[in-house]
Structure 1
């Protein structure tokens, strides 16, 4: 049989499972004979007789031979594979087939698998039934992969809980803040455009070297937000880089650095002069952000202690799973940024 076989006849059966069950119920209860039930519900006598006598199983929702392992076990396997991928441990085709082979062997299931391992047709059918696909995994730095260790993640959440317990912050979302920064490049990469197959697209503009503009945001668990910081690339800050007064961008803070990246002096000034003044008064505040070298110096630390601000550092290389702003706000923001560059 060809691997990509397509049914040429209608996939609808000649009778429904509901009608068949009704006919069987009438026969088994003694209300009618097999012959009369077959004629009443338009079933063949052989079909109804086989079902009543238990020579055949129930009518299936799918066509063809039954799968080698039960449908329930297939669902368990499919759900497990989806969970493994979500946790960053996606399995290869070979590993999936080995798992099925071990399951069949351990549970003494009789199959027609060669050497006890499913073949290509079984694998393709399994993927199709459960809407699975083989894909190239995204590249993740070794440091980011290593930090996925559950002991590191649990240790962070244990520390976060102990701080919230000690200072009674569980019911005070306005005192829990998250700070993050992201680099915006002028080379759009996310937005796709329509065009001919195998023909290049030159609508977007790519610079010979990356030009970055950094934006730093901070918001609370209650939805409050501090004025953002925008860092341009340059030795000096030009007036045309600053939004005019009395606009939707009022309160935004601007800076310029050699590469358009965050630097210790810029972060210190932003923390002391902008962030602290935007926090609630009479406070004990928890601010969560990553431990980049530009985010901490003695002046910043002394200002935080003086203003009753607790700084909780995320585990190294864990922002892709623990940084709230990075996972929610910046992801949507960068999509809009790319659309503006392409327009």
Structure 2
């Protein structure tokens, strides 16, 4: 249930069970002591005292086999219907992430017991949103950089950026429907058309898998997708850390590379009075990061490890689900199989009756 017991809580829980069951024990006040706890752990070697992983309740509740496996079933159906099983170049994943202007992830060596500081050019909280899109064959689309502002200024862009980089602005620097729509129509669609042209498969469907952020879904986006034979598929809510290729294997290495680049830049600015990262330098560094750290191996591994391509529902391990929900799910499968078998038996009987009747006539 996501609320594990510590040593004391477990002993008290056993005490409650003893009292409720009316059992007689040598325990003081019917609550077992430390010796009993040590013996219990020794008798159950599969258990250990460990630090729990922090998990938001919404993410815990989202780990539902009915939801997760239904997604994989639908994904398999889409792959089969649109003949994508041998076309990884037409299976895409897109997502945006914030890139901090000051390094915060990279550890450094310091004296034990004393605070360690790293000089930065800002507050450490400033970041810029960047949208990434990759395909199951390891290909990378140019990024979309979203600056905070009213309109994109020419001095914010960089000739050293990644070829084809798109730029946009929003009031708070976050992704909104207008920015995603612009990227979808002017970045993603042309990229897909170019692949179709190269491979002489002008009618080949493409699949874009992404999260359900409100900026990603609108009537206009769906209309453009239909017009261009693009299938849109939304990932289950609060599960992108487990099911999205970009989150699983791509953004981590990219962010590490990004922060190393910021640290290297900061060292060159020591003593020059200004370490703040300009928008133009941000665009240049993002371009360099895309060229240097967007690994095809990591991208392909992301699709494999999440089971998105090739489709493999068991990449989401059953151990991630609450045991009660998993039991209910398996019961529903067994019940469904029984109904299916009964239906097939009825159809077989009816077909035999029909044939008998037909032969009699």
Q: TM-score when scaled to structure 2?
A: 0.58
Give yes or no for the alignment of 1:141 onto 2:62.
no
> Residues 238 and 292 from structure 1, CA distance in 2 versus in 1: closer, same or farther, beyond 3 angstroms?
same
1:216 corresponding residue in structure 2: 131
> Residues 96 and 341 from structure 1, CA distance in 2 versus in 1: closer, same or farther, beyond 3 angstroms?
farther
Structure 2 distance, partners of 1:160, 1:202, is: 47
Greater shift after overlay, 319-328 or 181-190?
A: 181-190
* Local SS of the residue matching 2:223: helix
2:111 corresponding residue in structure 1: 196
Structure 1 distance, partners of 2:74, 2:105, is: 36
The residue correspondences of 1:98-109 to structure 2 (distance < 5 A) are: none
Asked whether the equivalents of residues 185 and 210 of structure 1 are also in contact (C-alpha less than 8 Å), the reply is yes
* Local SS of the residue matching 1:312: strand
1:81 corresponding residue in structure 2: none
Structure 2 distance, partners of 1:118, 1:97, is: 11
Q: 2:143 aligns with which of 193, 205, 228?
A: 228
Structure 2 distance, partners of 1:95, 1:121, is: 9
The residue correspondences of 1:154-303 to structure 2 (distance < 5 A) are: 154-205=69-120, 207-208=122-123, 210-244=125-159, 247=160, 249-279=162-192, 280-281=195-196, 282=202, 283-303=204-224
CA positional deviation for 1:259: 1.8
Asked whether the equivalents of residues 204 and 342 of structure 1 are also in contact (C-alpha less than 8 Å), the reply is no
Asked whether the equivalents of residues 147 and 169 of structure 2 are also in contact (C-alpha less than 8 Å), the reply is yes
CA positional deviation for 1:222: 1.2
CA positional deviation for 1:237: 2.2
CA positional deviation for 1:179: 1.0
* Local SS of the residue matching 2:168: strand
More helix by share: 2
1:339 corresponding residue in structure 2: 260
1:146-202, Cα deviation, whole Å (9 max, x unpaired): 111111111111111111122222222122111111111224331112112232222
Q: 5+ residue gaps in structure 1?
A: 1-87, 102-112
Structure 2 distance, partners of 1:119, 1:331, is: 44
CA RMSD of aligned residues (A): 3.5
Structure 2 distance, partners of 1:243, 1:176, is: 30
Higher RCO (C-alpha 8 Å, min separation 6): 2
* Local SS of the residue matching 2:94: strand
Asked whether the equivalents of residues 41 and 48 of structure 2 are also in contact (C-alpha less than 8 Å), the reply is no
Asked whether the equivalents of residues 132 and 144 of structure 2 are also in contact (C-alpha less than 8 Å), the reply is yes
CA positional deviation for 1:318: 1.6
Structure 1 distance, partners of 2:236, 2:127, is: 25
> Residues 161 and 117 from structure 1, CA distance in 2 versus in 1: closer, same or farther, beyond 3 angstroms?
farther
CA positional deviation for 1:289: 0.3
Give yes or no for the alignment of 1:329 onto 2:245.
no
* Local SS of the residue matching 1:265: helix
1:267-308, Cα deviation, whole Å (9 max, x unpaired): 111100110000132120111001111112222111100001
Q: 2:225 aligns with which of 296, 300, 304?
A: 304
Asked whether the equivalents of residues 214 and 231 of structure 1 are also in contact (C-alpha less than 8 Å), the reply is yes
Asked whether the equivalents of residues 97 and 117 of structure 1 are also in contact (C-alpha less than 8 Å), the reply is no
* Local SS of the residue matching 1:198: coil
* Local SS of the residue matching 2:128: strand
> Residues 124 and 328 from structure 1, CA distance in 2 versus in 1: closer, same or farther, beyond 3 angstroms?
farther
Asked whether the equivalents of residues 184 and 212 of structure 1 are also in contact (C-alpha less than 8 Å), the reply is yes
